[in-house]
Amino acid sequence: MTTLLSAPAQWAQDEFGFAQLGDQRRTERLVNIATNLAAKPGGTLPQAFPDWAELKAAYRFFSGAGASFEQVVAPHLERTRQACRQPGEYLIIEDTTELDYSHHPGAEDLGVIGDGRGRGFELHSALAVRVEAWTLEQRPEGTVVGLFGQQCNKPRPAPKGESPYDRLRRPRKSQRWAAALRQAGRPPSGSQWIYIADRESDFYEPILTCQQHGVDFIIRAYQNRRLAEAGHLG
């Protein structure tokens, strides 16, 4: 797998320059923040912003209510989905990553992760990769296109005394799987999308979504199933 890297300033402008944050100055601040973080991706915020005024502006941006997670990632997601509409073969690889901030002093208000005692976020991502070639061992060689979909969630325990009816009405963790495909729609003629996910997505809705949108899929099996024609468990 390969990536094509551009200069930090150009990358930040391409990915976030069209973010709709309600104020052009806020969008320009986002581009500036992305430029500095891309230049020093392994550093802290003070290392990325040695100037105190710039660092303070970055903290103000992150703590303010003017830019949501969805607004920030929206232009990048749209750019990736448009690229995947070009003729070719694309892998849409989906999985969940836990961001653990259990030992941070401000973690009490975060989501419940892991065994229930951890605090943090669940970052659910769908990465798009364009297949450039197949090796003799039938392994794909590809170029990373970008994020096809991404959700950041703060899981909460089920409310005490919740009825089965109430449980069906509230948003569920399972609904995140293949959600990016439902948002993007069907791939155009000449563009093949292959959805790849771990066994947590081995249930009816993601499979149905792939079939409805004309998307091939490879999902790691979690449950044994009886094949309709073979008459035995697969």
Select 1-67's CATH number: 1.10.246.40, 3.30.750.24, 3.90.1420.10, 2.40.30.10: 1.10.246.40
98's enclosing H/E stretch is strand 88-100
Q: Are 12 and 40 in contact (CB under 8 A)?
A: no
Strand runs labelled E in 176-220: 191-197, 216-219
Q: Are 14 and 75 in contact (CB under 8 A)?
A: no
**pLDDT (tens digit, 0 to 9) for every residue of the chain, 234 residues total?**
555 567 889 999 999 999 999 889 999 999 999 999 999 888 889 999 999 999 999 999 988 888 889 999 999 999 999 999 999 999 999 999 989 988 887 777 788 888 888 888 999 999 999 999 988 888 888 999 999 999 998 877 777 777 776 666 767 777 889 999 999 999 999 999 999 999 889 988 999 999 999 999 999 988 777 767 765 544
The whole-angstrom separation of Cα 126 and Cα 16 is 19
Q: Where in the chain is the domain with CATH 1.10.246.40?
A: 1-67
pTM score, whole prediction: 0.82
CA atoms within 13 A on the CB side of 76: 23
The whole-angstrom separation of Cα 126 and Cα 94 is 4
DSSP state of 68: -
For 69-234, CATH gives 3.90.350.10
Q: Where in the chain is the domain with CATH 3.90.350.10?
A: 69-234
Number of DSSP helices (H) and strands (E) in the chain, helices first: 8, 6
Q: Exposed (0-12), middle (13-18) or buried (19+): which is 106, by Cβ within 10 Å?
A: exposed
The DSSP-derived string for 34-65 is HHHHHHSTTS-HHHH--SHHHHHHHHHHHHSS
Q: Are 20 and 6 in contact (CB under 8 A)?
A: no
